[in-house]
Structures are given as structure tokens and as C-alpha cells.
Amino acid sequence: MSHVVVIGHGMVGSRFVEDLTTADAAGKHLVTVLGEEAGETYNRVLLSDVVAGSRGWSSIAMPSPVHPRVSVQRGTTVRTIDRERQDVVLSDDSRIPYDHLVLATGAAARVPAMPGLDEPELPHGVHVLRSIDDAREIIAATLNARRAIVLGGGVLGLEAASGLARRDLAVTVVHPAPALMDRQLDEAASRVVESTLRRTGVDQRVGVAAEEVVVEDGRLRRVRLDNGEVLAADLLVLTTGTLPRVDLAEGCGLAVERGIVVDEDLTTADPRIHAIGDCAQPPCGASGLVGQGWEQAHRLAGLLTSGAPAPATTGVGDVVRPKTTGVDLVTMGICGSGRTDDPALRVVRLSDPSAGRHLEIVVRDGRLVGATAVGAGRIGTDLVTSYTRQTPLPADPAHLLLPAISPATSGTQRDSPSLIPDRATICRCNGVTKGEIRTEFASGATTVEQIVEATRATTGCGGCTDALCGILDWLHAGDAPSPTAPAAREDGFTQAKHEQDQAETRAS
Amino acid sequence: MTDSHCPYCALQCAMTLTRAEGSLPPLLVAGREFPTNRGGLCRKGGASAELLRAPDRLTAPLVRDRGGELREVTWESALDLLADRLRAVAAEHGPDAVAVFGGGGLTNEKAYQLGKFTRVALRSKNIDYNGRFCMASAAAAANRSLGLDRGLPFPVADLDTAGAVLLLGSNVVETMPPFVPHLSGARDAGGLVVVDPRRSATADLTEDGHGIHLQPVPGTDLVVLQALLHVLVAEELVDEPYVSERTTGWQDVVRSVAAWWPERAEQVCGVPADELRRTARLLAGASPAHGGAGAYVLTGRGVEQSSQGTATVTAAINLALTLGLVGRAGSGYGALTGQGNGQGGREHGQKADQLPGYRMITDPAAREHVAGVWGVDPEDLPGPGLPAIALLQSLGTPGGPRALLVHGANPVVSAPRADAVVDRLRALDLLVVCDIFPSETVALADIVLPVTQWAEEEGTMTNLEGRIIRRRKAINPPEGVVSELWVWSQLAQRLAAPGSWSTDPAEVFDELARASAGGRADYSGLSHARLDREADLHWPCPATDAGEAPHPGTPRVLLDGFPTPDGRARFIAVDHVGPAEELRPDAPLFLITGRVLEHYQSGVQTRRVPALLAAQPTPFVEVHPLLAHRLDVEEGEELELVTARGCVIAPARVTDRVRADTVFMPFHHPGAGSVNRVTNDAVDPISSMPEFKVCAVEVRPVRAADTIAPEVLA
């Protein structure tokens, strides 16, 4: 029996424990999870929904591993890692021995260095958005705030801004790069997102940096921008990125760059210590998306149980889909600042800014390797499917940019009776064509009842009743020429339909 | 004039059969007023009398001679030979070496007698049936979550007043057209939700404001359901009083959907997040907790024939429980049973692990009760046998069965990975098939026994709503054709089986009723005579003491509580694993299968009706215009579909009803275009139901210059 100690009980740490207990059918491992926060694990991705008021607190709880071989210690702070003795040392100096140690310590919100934010404590009115407590504080602050600034127009920043706008605050996003979400969007795409956001009540300053947070009496008053503008505000949310929490790894001498350096197998230079999620820096780089952390959890669970990492699942990979009200946006793979001039890449674009639409796909060797879809609805969803499953592309990839429109497939229910060909099936259930109805009509079946008697049409699912009535009306009109076809009665029934209803009344 | 019911699906439309002396076909069929079909029939039912004059009807027992030809023999010699060979196989390899494969189209009497025959006369544990292909996952999930599996726990007509109906993986417009009018209430309220990767004829019913069609990536229905439940929790639309008073396990389910927020679910299931939210709100709006007109969640084969079918149905039940629908008048969850007696067929002992009355064969009390009715020692009853796919895979293998009796099934066309099934059938020492027509499975048989069909026999069927109905004889069978009840009685005598072996369906029903007494599906208060008088009898319908009024039957079960130990429904947390087969570079598209209106199951019956065959003469492959364009294929050109299991060929039908990443084929045909030759036989871990509905496929045109391997055309 080996002892696996997991430091961190957030979205990735708890998922790892769940995956490990599922994969470990033989019961090789005992697991101890050390979590800093005292409460239940929650879904950090959904905090911005809570800020927006579009969901309740109760729905962000995450599965808590309940398993006889798992012990969860909440509210526990780890002081150091003693690699020599293979112990984790807690703040009370007690020691927990490990055979495998998994660091899932996550990341902390980054507070930018600038005047006004240089004290250890943030001033009143200034918040980061990383934990459930942060979300609670922001919601409390919205009760009295009227003007909010969101510093940092990445995914979280836009979600937060959109959420605050839903709470009827005047919101301005300040973003120093030339495009919002500049990891994912180029300037053209950003412009479309900007105008859509503006319509939902979110103002922006893009390509403009904040220089100073003006604090008076310990309380936020204004933010001074590098274009000379000064924005008054009573709420400032900092969404300026994260810093991987690497102290424990650093303290025990493991390699740390931006995050804890791990190899393909999520293992540090110490074969007994692994890192997953936001604290880790794998060779491919960290995306900051929970999907990557969950994928790592799944693979590491496989490695620790079978010796080989579990094969990659059909993951959502690097798809970015902000939950911003009124802004329909999804990006994946090569997009935004990640796009290069590589001649092997075929880039096809549809730019329709005044309609709030912008689409771009990146194709290599007949496969979709990247896409940006703004205001594209179902097309964006289909691009994700095509990208994550690597399905074959149309002969001309440009077809991916518009909904496929083909001639109406059946048409018989809607077309004017004169346009329906004789061979068209009117009653699918009984295989009755328009031609057969005409034939029966010609041989004397002139009411709905008689046609039904002769052909069984309408007696299956009944869905063709209106179509049959329409054809009969048309046949009557041709049969007894009159200036106009039988007009719809005032109550909307046609004559033939009326006859049928009468017949039904008689029959019942 | 004889009142009876249709020979096809589980709706069992009521019909009147009138003798038409001297004419062909010899019966006239007319729809009859009944709560299910309200006088309606589909094209198959309307033309069902044609089955009585099909020119290749089996009318004499056939035995394969030394030259490999099937030759007509007398019943006496066929039965003597069969009994001898069954005895020989059992003597050499043990009783379990004789296996039985039944069907969901058999009457209750036959399904019951077949289970008894296997356990008592053959003394074999190995019986299972084609219902494993259609109802096993819904049954497993309903039993686990609700304590009871009755397809619809309410009469079909209850659907009429619903404000919303969520239809998961069911194309009722083609599979049971006279059911469709029951959706009109939901349609009028804009509340019909159809979940199908294909824009089926049923999905069309949602157009023009009648509802919503969700078109998920094949194999991801479970994600759709998880996301719907997630939204109900997030937006606080849960029926809290119902959840706290009538269920257990809620918190686990809340946690299990925490990771499926709509924007993430969208990335896996391909349904836009906004559509998921809109659907969840629509269902909640129709639910009783929010003052709605009532809502129903219904599952079909599209979501059940999956390696995570039980989990998917469980998620559907979780959704229904969250909305407070189950066990409430005017709302509910149900599975739309497929085969004519798919319900009764799974209650009376045709299943590997069950005894009559929906009892478990591992339950000592059940064994004792049933053994008492059968007049045998409980110790002599075998234990559970192998479920269908494992049974078929074991045929003719070392330690596996050496002989197989097939009744009312055509696994050569209907089983997944059918080429492998053919290999297994060929490896048997003895294959015996009872059928009405020379099916593709009959073609492989050593002994063929011709039996009666629908209008030629008496019996009962249990329809999709648990209503027991009478099938009545309207015409004499052709000379030489007998009922299976007679076949089993004859064989039982020859095998010196204990107990009695009636050939009278009414007597067999009475015995079935006694055997079912006290079981979950209790028929003990029923008889043919009572069923002739009353048409509204749903099980359970237990016997009452002499002098007491007869039990009225139970049209709506679960209203007063759930038959679980604590009387509560169980929320069971499930999660999405995905289909057994992922897309891969050499199989980059999804293959899904389904039905067309004109055909039924493996088509053995409907392909013999000229008008139906003329309407749908061949299999076909639905391909999206963009895929057709990429393949440079036009309407009608032959396509080759290659999966890990083999290859089939069929002409293209170019239509935007399928997704561009998916092709669709109907499964009614034998030969080169028989799609089940390439479907996946991976099974659900709980129900053992195979994953017919999704696998990975490569599609390419068959050009004139190409040569096709001869085995494909075989």
C-alpha cells in the first residue's frame, strides 16, 4: 500500500483524487488530501456566474471524494516539504509521510504593481476574483457601488465586467494590450467583441493601461490611466492574471520557472513529486484553463495506478468559451496572438463587424487547427466539435463559416398545393402521394372523409391533415372554377378542414 | 370480425380483422378505436394482412441433409431428430451446452413457456433474447432508480395534456406513427423537445414554434442531460419539496453535474449553451412545481443502445426526479418500448437472470415460488445464464453452448457485429430456428420449424404502457404450421420433462398468472376471459380472495411511493465516459443507425410486403451535402462504410438531416448493406446492452473500377 499525499483540494486536486480512486481498483493507494480552505471544494470557473447573479451558491459545489481510502483534511496549511524523509510538514510541525506527493496548489490572483496597490492589504473597494470569499465581497460591494472598473480584459475580466453590468453597475474594462483577450483574439476580432460588449453596457479602454489607483481615506476613489484620463470608481476588480503558487516547490529545491517545472508525465525532477493544474508548468506550457488541469489529473491518476499515463481523453483542450451575457464568443487552437505567418496554415476569415460577427478558421493539412468565432451561434459550436474531434473538413473549408443551406428537403407540408409534384408523399404513415389523392378525387372522393376512406391518409400520426385539406381545397378550386380559392373562414379553418371537423363530431 | 392488435411495435395498435373469403390477402385490416391508437394505423399495420400470403411462408419442418440442403420432413421425424440431438449435446457437454435465444415479439404465453422449457425441460441456464438489444438499459436504470421497470408507468393518453415532453433518442413519427397525436398537447404549448443527432421526421415536429430540437454529437446524450440538470440547479428550478420528501441521493447528483455548466457541456455535446438553458427552463416551466401543465421525460433506443445506456437513462430519471415528475399524475418518466411484446417479453423469464413475474433467478424465495408452480424442486432450477451478446459470442467456443434454439429473432441481421455472430452460429453443432419465414438466420439452421403468426394464434401481449391486451385468432394457419406451444410440449414429452405442458394459450396464461403472483409484474388477477371483457388492465393486477372484487389493475404505478426499501426514488450519480469507440484518423466520422417507417426490425416481415418493399427497397446511407461534396459523391452513388469490424456498401442519400460529421443507415436489410455487420458489440457494463447507435467509420465512394472483396457481397 502506498501513500499518496495531495496538497490542494481545489478543482484539479479533487478531480485527481476522484480519478485516482476510480483507476485504482486494486486498492494500491491510500490518499490524504490537504486543503487550505475550510469549506467544500467549489467550481472556481463559475464564480463569475455567481457575481453576475445568474446562479446560486449551492450549484458551484464540486464532487467531494468520499472513499474509504481517502482522508481529506481541510483548513490545513503545509509549511514545507522534507524530500529527504519524504514528509510533508504542516504548520503545527506535524509530519505526514508520502510515497507520492501531488502538488495541486493552484494559482493566486496577480496584483499589478502600481501606486495605490502597493500595500499588503488591498484598499476598500478593490478586489481580486479568485476565491469564493472574493466573490462574496464583490457581490456585497455591488450593493452600494455605482461605477466599477475591471482591470484586465482577459476571459475572467470580461466575465466579471459582464456580470457587474447585469447588476446595473456602470462598468469600464481597462486593458493595456491592443486587443481584449489578446491571447485569443486579434484586433479585428476584438473590435467586434468590443462593440457587442458596449451594447450590453460594458464600456472599455483598450490599449490603455492603468497608472495609479487613487485611494483616499483608505477607500478607492479613482483610477488614473496612461492616456491621461481619470475614471471615477467605487469598485475596482483586478483580473490581471494569476501567479502559480510555487512556494512549497521552491522551498524544497525543485525547479521553478513561471510554474513548477514538470515533464510530459507531470513529474518533477524528484520522481516522487508531481504537479498538476495551475501551479504546474508542463513542456507544452500552461493554458490556465481547467480543462488542461483535469486532463493532467486523469493522466497522472493513470500513471500512479498502472505505471503509464492514461491516454488523453477527448478533451476540450484549449477551447476558450467565456460565459459573458450577450457576447457569443469561442476560440480554440491557433488564434489571436498565437497565429503566425506559417505558409502551411490556411486562414479563412469572414468579417461582418456591423452585424457583430467575426469568424476565422485556421486549417493545416486538411484539419482544423484553430478558430475564432464571435457572434456565430451554432457555427461556433460546430467548429468546436470539428476541432476537438478532428473530423474531416469540407472540400472548401470556407463552408465552415456559414450554415449549410440546401434545398428544402420535403416541402410538401408548406408548399402551395400547385407546386407539389404528384409523386410527393403527403401521408408518410400510409405512403399516400399527391397523385393518389388526385386520382381518388377524380374518381369521386371529394371530401376529406372519402379520401381518408380510400387512402388511409391522415390515419397514422395525423400530421398531414392540414396538407391534405390544402390539396382538397386546391382540387375543389380547380374542379369548380371560381374567382378565388375557398377563402379561409374567419376562425382560420379552411372549408375542407371544417368538413373534417364536422365529420369527427359526427363520429364521436 | 375479430378484434385484435397489430403484429408489429409496442404500441400494439388495435385493429379489426375481417375474413375476406376467396380473396388475397384473406383478411381485411381496419384500425379500431382504442386509447393508444385511436383508430389509427401506420402503413405497416395497414398492410399487415399481406404477411398472410407471402409466397415463401414456411409450412413444413426442414432438416439439413448430408448435402447441406434443407429438406422437408414430417413433424414427427423433425421432433424425434431434434430431441435426439438435444439429448446428445446435453449428454456430451452438459445441459448448459443447449442455449435458447428468444424474442420480444413472442406472446406472453410463449415467452413464459420458453423460459420454463429452457429451465425445466432443457435444464439449461442459457436463455436470453433480443430484448437485450432494445430494453435492457432502460429496464436496469428504472429498476435501480425507481424500484420498478414498467416502460411507461402511466397510460399513453396521459401524455395528451402535457405542457412539455422531452423525447430522447426516439423517432416516433417513423417507429410508431399513431403515437404522435399524443404529443399534440405539448406541441401546442411549444413544449416538444426532441434530442436526436439527426433531424428526424420527429424532430420536424418541433419546428414552427412547437418546441426545440437538440442535435448532439452522437454518443453524448448523457452530457446534454447532465447540463440540463446543472441548469436546473444553478437557476434554482428544482422541485425542492418533492426532492426532500420522495427521493434520496440528491446531493451526490448535484455534485455530479457541477462540472457540466452549459458552456463546457456545449464543447462536448455540440449543443449550444443557450439551447441547453432554454430547454431546461422550458421543462421546468411545464413541471407541476412551477404550476405547469405537466412534463414527461421519455427515452428510446437512440440513447439506450449505448455503452453508457444505463447511465444515460439514469440521468434522464435524475432529471425527471429533479423536476418532481415521477410518480405524479400528469407528469412522469418512461421508456418507449420497441418490440411488440418488448414489455411482456422481459417479465416472464426469457431473460438470463429472471423468472416469471419479473423475479430474479438468484432470489431463493422467487425460485421456490416458481418451482412450486412448475412442479419441480427449486434446487433443480439453474442459475443465471449469459446475457445475449456474451451468449452469442460464446457459441461453439470451448466450454460454450454447442446447440442453439432461436425463437422469434433474426440475429444474423439484428445483432451487432453480425458477421462474427454468423461465424459463431456456423461453429455450432446444432442450430434450430422457429420462424414464419425463411429469415437470414433460418438460412444457417440445421432444423427449421414453421410456426404460427399473429392473426393465426391466441394469446396476450403487454404493450408499452404495461397494458395486457388480447391477440386473437382470425384465420387458420396454413397446413403444416403449428404453435411453438405445441413444439415445446412435444419436445418436453420426448425429453421426459416434469410438469405439465399445455398447448392452450389460455391455460398457459393461467399458469403464467400463478407463477407471477407476488412478483413485481403480477398478472395473477388476470385471465383470457377477463381480458376479453376489459381492455384497461395494466399490471400489477394481483388475484383477490374469493368473494372480493377483482383488482382493477394499475394504470399508474408509483403514485403512492416507490417499490424501494425506503419507498423513495433514488438519485444515482453518473458521469459521461463517451462511446466505446472514439473517432480516429482512419475512421473520422460517426455512424448511427435507426429505422424507416416502412420496415420493422430485421425486415423479415416487412420486406415481404410488396408495397413496403417498393417504398424502401434497399438500405441507404444518409450523408450531409458537405460530406457528399468532399467525397465527390452524388445521390444514389454507392458508398463503402468501413469500421473496425468490417465493411458495408449502400447507396448515398444526400440530405442535411444528418450532421456533417455523421452518417446514418437503417438496419432492416441483409447482405452487403446490412449495417449491423459493422456496428459495435461493446456493451453497457450494467445492462449488457450493445452499442448499436454509435461507432467510428470511414466512408468512401465505390467507383466502378474498384473491386469489392467477395465476402462483403456475400
Q: Is B547 on the interface with A (CB under 8 A)?
A: no
Average pLDDT in the B461-468 region? 97
Residue type for position B177: P
Q: Is B629 on the interface with A (CB under 8 A)?
A: yes
- Domain C-terminal end among A356, A371, A406: A406
Quote the CA–CA distance of B603 and B595 in Å, as a whole number. 10
Q: What band does A285 get if pLDDT is binned at 50, 70 and 90?
A: confident
Q: What is the pLDDT of residues B529-548, one digit of tens each?
A: 999 999 999 999 999 999 99
For residue A458, tell me if it sits in a domain.
Answer: yes
Quote the CA–CA distance of B469 and A181 in Å, as a whole number. 65
Asked if B49 contacts B504 with a C-beta cutoff of 8 angstroms, the reply is: no
Q: Do B234 and A406 touch (CB under 8 A)?
A: no
Q: What is the pLDDT of residues B265-298, one digit of tens each?
A: 999 999 999 999 999 999 999 999 999 999 999 9
Q: What band does A288 get if pLDDT is binned at 50, 70 and 90?
A: confident
Asked if pLDDT for residue B91 goes beyond 80, the answer is yes
Which of B205, B573, B597 faces A429 most closely, judged by CB atoms? B597
Asked if pLDDT for residue A268 goes beyond 80, the answer is yes
List C-alpha distances in Å: B521 to A344, B346, B353, B515. Answer: 66, 10, 15, 10
What's the CA angle centered on A149, arms A146 and A151, to 5 degrees?
A: 165
Closest-CA residue of chain B to A396: B630
Rg (CA), chain B: 24
Domain identity same for A265 and A368: no
Domain identity same for A102 and A247: yes
Quote the CA–CA distance of B271 and B257 in Å, as a whole number. 16
Asked if B342 contacts B151 with a C-beta cutoff of 8 angstroms, the reply is: yes
Rounded to a whole number of angstroms, the distance from the CA of B255 to the nearest CA of chain A is 5
Average pLDDT in the B628-650 region? 96
Domain identity same for A425 and A398: no
The 3-state DSSP class for residue B141 equals helix
Q: What is the mean pLDDT of chain A?
A: 88
Residue listed under C-alpha cell 493539412: A365
Domain identity same for A359 and A390: yes
On chain A, the residues whose CB falls within 8 A of the CB of B588 are: 390-392
Cβ contacts of A342 within 8 Å, gap of 6 or more: none
Q: What band does B705 get if pLDDT is binned at 50, 70 and 90?
A: low
CATH number at residue A51: 3.50.50.60
* pLDDT score recorded for residue A476: 87
* pLDDT score recorded for residue B478: 96
* Nearest C-alpha neighbor of A141 from the set A210, A238, A58: A238
* Nearest C-alpha neighbor of B207 from the set A408, A504, A164: A408
Domain identity same for A76 and A133: no
Asked if pLDDT for residue A485 goes beyond 70, the answer is no
Selected residue of A385, A393, A406 to mutate for chain B interface (largest B Cβ count, 10 A): A385
Rounded to a whole number of angstroms, the distance from the CA of A43 to the nearest CA of chain B is 7
* Nearest C-alpha neighbor of A386 from the set A337, A319, A290, A323: A319
Total residue count of chain B as it appears in this document: 714
On chain A, the residues whose CB falls within 8 A of the CB of B656 are: 404, 406, 409
Q: Is B91 on the interface with A (CB under 8 A)?
A: no
Q: What is the pLDDT of residues B575-597, one digit of tens each?
A: 999 999 999 999 999 999 999 99
Asked if pLDDT for residue A320 goes beyond 80, the answer is yes
Asked if B638 contacts B674 with a C-beta cutoff of 8 angstroms, the reply is: no
Rounded to a whole number of angstroms, the distance from the CA of A210 to the nearest CA of chain B is 31
For residue A333, tell me if it sits in a domain.
Answer: yes
Domain identity same for A228 and A285: no
Which of A322, A399, A461 faces B180 most closely, judged by CB atoms? A461
Q: Do A61 and B255 touch (CB under 8 A)?
A: yes
* Nearest C-alpha neighbor of B599 from the set B580, B587, B612, B610: B612
Domain count, chain A: 4
* pLDDT score recorded for residue A41: 85
* pLDDT score recorded for residue A40: 82
Q: Is A43 on the interface with B (CB under 8 A)?
A: yes
Q: Pairing state of beta strands A95-97 and A2-7?
A: unpaired
For residue A425, tell me if it sits in a domain.
Answer: yes
Burial class (CB in 10 A: 0-12, 13-18, 19+), B545: exposed
For residue A112, tell me if it sits in a domain.
Answer: no
Residue listed under C-alpha cell 475614471: A231
**Residue numbers of the domain that contains A493:** 410-498
* pLDDT score recorded for residue A425: 86
For residue A371, tell me if it sits in a domain.
Answer: yes
E-state strands within A416-507: 425-427, 432-433
Average pLDDT in the B603-613 region? 95
Asked if B391 contacts B401 with a C-beta cutoff of 8 angstroms, the reply is: yes
Domain identity same for A7 and A90: yes
Quote the CA–CA distance of B212 and B453 in Å, as a whole number. 41
Q: What band does A461 get if pLDDT is binned at 50, 70 and 90?
A: confident
* pLDDT score recorded for residue B704: 63
A109: cell is 490572483
Cβ contacts of B66 within 8 Å, gap of 6 or more: none
Selected residue of B42, B206, B220, B250 to mutate for chain A interface (largest A Cβ count, 10 A): B42
Asked if pLDDT for residue B329 goes beyond 50, the answer is yes
Q: What is the pLDDT of residues A401-441, one digit of tens each?
A: 998 665 544 444 456 777 788 888 888 888 888 888 999 98
Burial class (CB in 10 A: 0-12, 13-18, 19+), A297: buried
* pLDDT score recorded for residue B711: 59
Dihedral Cα B568, B573, B578, B579, nearest 10 deg:
-30
* pLDDT score recorded for residue B576: 95
Q: What band does A26 get if pLDDT is binned at 50, 70 and 90?
A: confident
Q: What is the largest CA-CA distance in chain A?
A: 102
Residue listed under C-alpha cell 414456411: B58
Which of B172, B173, B630 faces A392 most closely, judged by CB atoms? B630
* Nearest C-alpha neighbor of B223 from the set B263, B278, B251, B192: B263
On chain B, the residues whose CB falls within 8 A of the CB of A60 are: 258
pTM of the model: 0.92
Average pLDDT in the A138-147 region? 95
CATH number at residue A453: 1.10.10.1100
Quote the CA–CA distance of B300 and B312 in Å, as a whole number. 11
Q: Is A460 on the interface with B (CB under 8 A)?
A: yes
Rounded to a whole number of angstroms, the distance from the CA of A358 to the nearest CA of chain B is 18
Highest mean pLDDT among A79-83, A301-305, A400-404: A79-83
* Nearest C-alpha neighbor of B218 from the set B575, B580, B654: B580
Cβ contacts of A397 within 8 Å, gap of 6 or more: A346, A348, A361, A363, A368
Q: What band does A462 get if pLDDT is binned at 50, 70 and 90?
A: confident
* Nearest C-alpha neighbor of A101 from the set A7, A1, A2: A7
Q: What is the mean pLDDT of chain B?
A: 95
Interface of B with A in 234-253 (CB under 8 A): 234-236
Q: Is A323 on the interface with B (CB under 8 A)?
A: yes
Domain identity same for A154 and A198: yes
For residue A365, tell me if it sits in a domain.
Answer: yes
Cβ contacts of B518 within 8 Å, gap of 6 or more: B357, B369, B524, B542
Q: What band does A375 get if pLDDT is binned at 50, 70 and 90?
A: very high
Q: For residue A312, give the DSSP letter.
A: P
Q: What is the pLDDT of residues B112-148, one digit of tens each?
A: 999 999 999 999 999 999 999 989 999 999 999 999 9
For residue A380, tell me if it sits in a domain.
Answer: yes
* pLDDT score recorded for residue B23: 80
Q: What is the pLDDT of residues B548-582, one digit of tens each?
A: 999 999 999 999 999 999 999 999 999 999 999 99
Closest-CA residue of chain B to A458: B40
* pLDDT score recorded for residue A65: 63
Quote the CA–CA distance of B680 and B578 in Å, as a whole number. 14
Rounded to a whole number of angstroms, the distance from the CA of A343 to the nearest CA of chain B is 23
Q: What band does B492 get if pLDDT is binned at 50, 70 and 90?
A: very high
Domain identity same for A469 and A440: yes
For residue A317, tell me if it sits in a domain.
Answer: no
First to last CA, chain B: 45
Q: What band does A63 get if pLDDT is binned at 50, 70 and 90?
A: low
Asked if pLDDT for residue A96 goes beyond 50, the answer is yes
Quote the CA–CA distance of B332 and B319 in Å, as a whole number. 11
Interface of A with B in 54-73 (CB under 8 A): 54-56, 58-64
Q: Is B701 on the interface with A (CB under 8 A)?
A: no
Rounded to a whole number of angstroms, the distance from the CA of A29 to the nearest CA of chain B is 23
Domain identity same for A438 and A475: yes
The fraction of chain B above a pLDDT of 90, given in percent, is: 96
Burial class (CB in 10 A: 0-12, 13-18, 19+), B611: middle
* pLDDT score recorded for residue A484: 42
Q: What is the pLDDT of residues B679-695, one digit of tens each?
A: 999 999 999 999 999 99
Quote the CA–CA distance of B628 and A178 in Å, as a whole number. 42
CATH number at residue A363: 3.30.390.30
Domain identity same for A70 and A163: no
The 3-state DSSP class for residue B42 equals coil
Asked if pLDDT for residue B623 goes beyond 80, the answer is yes
* pLDDT score recorded for residue A409: 45
Selected residue of B198, B223, B267, B634 to mutate for chain A interface (largest A Cβ count, 10 A): B267
List C-alpha distances in Å: B517 to B75, B316, B470, B512. Answer: 36, 31, 20, 9
Distance of CA B573 to the CA centre of its chain: 26
Q: Do A62 and B258 touch (CB under 8 A)?
A: yes
| Inter-chain contacts counted by CB atoms under 8 A, chains A and B | 165
- Domain C-terminal end among A406, A433, A463: A406
Quote the CA–CA distance of B26 and A368 in Å, as a whole number. 61
Q: Do A390 and B43 touch (CB under 8 A)?
A: no
Quote the CA–CA distance of A171 and A203 in Å, as a whole number. 6
Domain identity same for A90 and A162: no
